[in-house]
């Protein structure tokens, strides 16, 4: 380790030791220096970015690609397009794949669930191709499906050409895009996400361990995925939970497996030590009632379609300020989910989150008499 890197590490350790007094003074130190091509630390619930470096730099994702492969397959399972019990016949292309494998054999049939476990736990390239072909008919068609999901998730700097992460100049993403993908996977598929915490899996009498060593080293960690090629370096996306706070770290392009472990732990320790996340409002909770004109009823409940979380520095909960800005005049008919304003959350004049205020129920137009009366009353408003 160079003297400069040693000095940085020593300074960060001193800051951690002094953390109680720093938090009390509303001071948060700069994030740790990470020896990686790019990185990002996010709170999963609120979406707030707590640390980042070169997060929009295009990188080769290696096997982190398989998060999008899994996401696309999970969507098909959710829609009913396939089932976990479906049997998939292994093609020559899947069988001939190199790199990390679950060792499926050409011409045999393997269930979708076994293939998913082989891809998630063992990072099997053969399993990824078999799933892609079963889902979309060919890996090329599946790549087009992956890109459609990427566009919907606003992964603007990502493009996929295969299901495995096999190197290709046209196959790229960013740390920020990967955080969007992983956050969506965790939120949308709570029944499948626990598979990323499985430490080992046996198929064809071959037992293999999960490549994510943090599953053994840190009790807070419950996923997500490793990746490595010579050109991409060592990569790791990690999710960890402590109490009600869940963090997501993305580390791209370290020089060693130990490097990605140390970088991920440093980011997670920083986030859990200096920040806290609070759920301010529940989904569907009535936050305010507004007069609705010319409707069957006179009051319209407004709230949020999704829970609202806010991540702040430790000790700043009392400084959270939430304001509602609502349309001045609301006319019937109103439809559930329709936007009528915003909730704005700030801390010490720093805007942290803005969410739409939506109608929590339908309010159809009232009778002719009600509309006539409200027309007259509106003249005096």
Distance CA 260, CA 262 (A): 6
Distance CA(126)–CA(63), nearest Å, equals 12
Task: Supply the Cα-derived Rg of the chain in whole angstroms.
Answer: 25
In angstroms, rounded to a whole number, what is the distance separating the alpha carbons of residues 44 and 12? 24
Question: For residues 285 and 301, is the Cβ–Cβ distance under 8 A?
Answer: no
User: How many CA atoms lie less than 13 Å away from 258 in the CB half-sphere?
Assistant: 0
Active-site residue, selected from the candidate residues 38, 46, 63, 100: 63
Task: Give catalytic status of residue 123 as yes or no.
Answer: yes
Q: Name the catalytic one among 38, 46, 66, 180.
A: 66
Are 222 and 5 a contacting pair, CB within 8 Å? no
Look at residues 73, 251, 238 and name the one whose alpha carbon lies nearest to residue 163: 73
Roughly what angle, to the nearest 10 degrees, separates helices 139-152 and 66-79? 90
Check if 158 is active-site: no
* Partners of 254 in the β-ladder: 234
> What are the structure tokens assigned to 347, written together?
């801390």
Rounded alpha-carbon distances, angstroms, from residue 225 to 235, 263, 355: 8, 15, 31
Angstrom CA distances, 121 to 63, 247, 257, stand at 12, 21, 17
63 is catalytic: yes
CA-closest candidate to residue 145, choices 154, 135, 155: 135
How far apart CA 169 and CA 186 sit, in angstroms, is 29
Q: Which of 123, 128, 249, 264 is catalytic?
A: 123
Q: Is 379 helix (H, G, I), strand (E, B) or coil?
A: coil
Q: Return the C-alpha torsion angle 325, 330, 335, 339, nearest 10.
A: -20
Q: Under a CB-based contact definition with an 8 Å cutoff, are residues 130 and 119 in contact? A: no
Helices (H), 168-314: 175-188, 214-217, 257-274
Q: Are 226 and 208 in contact (CB under 8 A)?
A: no
Residues serving a catalytic function are: 63, 66, 123
């Amino acid at each position: 380790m160079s003297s400069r890197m040693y000095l940085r590490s020593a300074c960060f350790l001193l800051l951690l030791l002094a953390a109680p007094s720093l938090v009390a003074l509303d001071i948060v130190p700069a994030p740790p220096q990470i020896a990686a091509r790019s990185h990002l630390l996010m709170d999963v619930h609120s979406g707030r970015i707590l640390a980042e470096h070169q997060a929009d730099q295009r990188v080769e994702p290696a096997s982190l690609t398989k998060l999008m492969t899994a996401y696309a397959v999970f969507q098909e399972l959710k829609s009913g397009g396939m089932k976990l019990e479906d049997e998939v016949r292994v093609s020559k292309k899947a069988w001939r794949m190199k790199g990390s494998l679950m060792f499926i054999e050409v011409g045999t049939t393997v269930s979708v669930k076994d293939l998913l476990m082989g891809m998630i736990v063992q990072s099997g390239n053969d399993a990824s191709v078999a799933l892609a072909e079963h889902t979309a008919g060919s890996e090329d068609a599946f790549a087009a499906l992956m890109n459609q999901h990427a566009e919907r998730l606003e992964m603007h700097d990502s493009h996929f050409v295969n299901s495995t992460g096999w190197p290709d100049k046209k196959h790229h993403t960013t740390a920020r895009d990967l955080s969007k993908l992983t956050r969506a996977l965790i939120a949308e598929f709570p029944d499948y996400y626990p598979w990323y915490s499985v430490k080992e899996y046996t198929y064809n009498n071959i037992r293999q361990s999960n490549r994510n060593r943090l599953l053994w080293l840190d009790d807070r960690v419950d996923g997500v995925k490793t990746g490595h090629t010579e050109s991409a370096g060592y990569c790791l996306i990690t999710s960890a939970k402590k109490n009600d706070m869940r963090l997501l770290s993305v580390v791209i392009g370290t020089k060693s497996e130990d490097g990605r472990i140390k970088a991920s732990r440093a980011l997670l320790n920083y986030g859990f030590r200096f920040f806290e996340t609070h759920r301010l409002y529940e989904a569907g909770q009535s936050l305010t009632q507004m007069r609705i004109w010319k409707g069957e009823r006179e009051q319209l409940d407004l709230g949020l379609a999704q829970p609202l979380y806010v991540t702040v520095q430790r000790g700043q909960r009392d400084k959270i300020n939430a304001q509602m800005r609502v349309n001045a005049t609301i006319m019937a008919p109103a439809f559930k989910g329709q936007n009528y304003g915003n909730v704005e959350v700030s801390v010490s004049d720093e805007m942290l989150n803005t969410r739409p205020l939506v109608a929590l129920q339908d309010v159809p137009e009232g009778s002719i008499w009600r509309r006539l009366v409200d027309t007259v009353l509106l003249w005096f408003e």
